[in-house]
Amino acid sequence: MEKLKNIEFIRVFLICAIVFLHMFIDRKWCLCTLFPDISIYQTLKSAIAHSNNGVEGFFIVAGFFLVYTFKSHLSLKNFILKKYIRLSPVILFSMGLCAIGWLLGAMHFKLIPNLLTVFLLNNFVVQIGVGQNPILWYTSALFTGLLLYFCLIKYLPVKIKYWTIAIVAISGYIILEILQHGSFVKPIKNYHHIFNIGFLRAVGGIGLGCLIGYLYKNILSKFNQPLKNMLLKWFFTLLEFGFMGFIIWWCMCIHKSINNIVIVLCFGILLILFLFKKGYLSQITDSDIWVKLGRYQYSIYVVHYVIIRILGLKVWKHCPDFVSAHPIMPIILNLVVILLIGIFAYHMVELPCTKYLKAKLIRK
């Protein structure tokens, strides 16, 4: 199936925003907390405060690809196996990093919550346990949300399928609106023991992505001819730059809190524009480089939080003079270590484990 290169560009941007968020979030191991007097760290902390919504983009794209790559002959059992094979090996690797952090005294080690995380059960509909890598609520919510929509797509009649997906997705966002007034913070929080914020975000985002996937397969893919009308081309270009600019502003700039449904809608529209590929931005970013970089985004996501914590508590905390004299260097070195370990995890864990386990466990 054809690679959608400019969609990989969006994912690369999102992972960069999320890594920076966790580098300057309000935690005792982050640079902004360890060195409150260094102004650049405080500026970055404020500037990227809303980058957590990059996860919404990942959910939407995941829903789109669920529909885009859907194979009707795939059984529920094999779908579950494929998701475990895809997601769990790198999570297990990250638990190894947590064990190293525990040996270094940078964190505790909670066996049961970590095992739940490896088996993608820590955020299965509700938050069950929080391990040493709490951002992996996302992988469990992603798995659960994809499983829900796979069943809807596979087993529902066509006549009610689209409406059901739309109702489920909208319901997720309506419940979020009622519980948190449009805020998507506290993703591991359960309300009334039945509503988990992270899972509701997955339900809404993946559902929206599924609807965009059907829109693309049924309509947009038929309009693949380049535009000859330059006025229209520039119109679509302005739309692409406008929505991309808004998302960058939302994630990377200081602003007052706005209902998070707004960023969800903007992500959805940007994804449609990039799939439509009628403007210059969606065409310029349609490059192989984003495919090559995008293959590392999952491994980087899984490992980066643990690396930031270990480096913060065991390196930067004990080098205050160096950090004060060279405040940019810890940022650069954090990014380099995250990138190198993410690349290592992809080539030495994610890729070989996926190939081996698929060959052993998936029957065609």
* pLDDT tens column, 45-58: 988 888 888 999 99
242 has pLDDT over 90: yes
Q: What is the DSSP string of 153-177?
A: HHHS-HHHHHHHHHHHHHHHHHHHH
Closest by Cα among 281, 280, 285, 248 to 263? 248
Average pLDDT over residues 227-256: 88
48, 21 in Cβ contact below 8 A?
yes
C-alpha span between 54 and 263 (Å, rounded)? 9
How does residue 222 score in pLDDT terms, banded at 50, 70 and 90?
low
C-alpha span between 164 and 156 (Å, rounded)? 9
Share of the chain above pLDDT 70, in %: 97
Instruction: Phi first, then psi: give them for residue 119, nearest 5 degrees.
Output: -90, 10
DSSP 226: P
Domains: count for the chain: 1
34, 317 in Cβ contact below 8 A?
yes
332 has pLDDT over 80: yes
Sign of the CA dihedral with 218 first, then 222, 224, and 229 last: negative
What range does the domain containing 89 cover? 5-361
How does residue 361 score in pLDDT terms, banded at 50, 70 and 90?
confident
pLDDT digits (tens, 9 = 90+) for 120-171: 999 999 999 898 899 999 999 999 999 999 999 999 998 899 999 999 999 9
Q: Which two tokens stand for residue 319?
A: 């080098």
Q: What is the mean pLDDT of the chain?
A: 92
CA distances from 190 to 30, 115, 128 (A): 26, 20, 9
pLDDT digits (tens, 9 = 90+) for 297-307: 999 999 999 99
CA distances from 324 to 58, 105, 315 (A): 36, 24, 14
Between residues 255 and 27, the one the model is more confident about: 27
Q: Which two tokens stand for residue 178?
A: 């009622």
Instruction: Phi first, then psi: give them for residue 258, nearest 5 degrees.
Output: -125, 150
For residue 271, give the H/E element and its range: helix 261-276
User: Residue 326, SS3?
Assistant: coil
- What Rg value do the Cα atoms of the chain yield, rounded? 21
CA 48 to chain centre: 16
Report the predicted TM-score, pTM, of the whole model to 2 decimal places: 0.94
C-alpha span between 9 and 68 (Å, rounded)? 18
pLDDT digits (tens, 9 = 90+) for 7-33: 999 999 999 999 999 999 989 999 999
Closest by Cα among 306, 291, 289, 314 to 345? 306
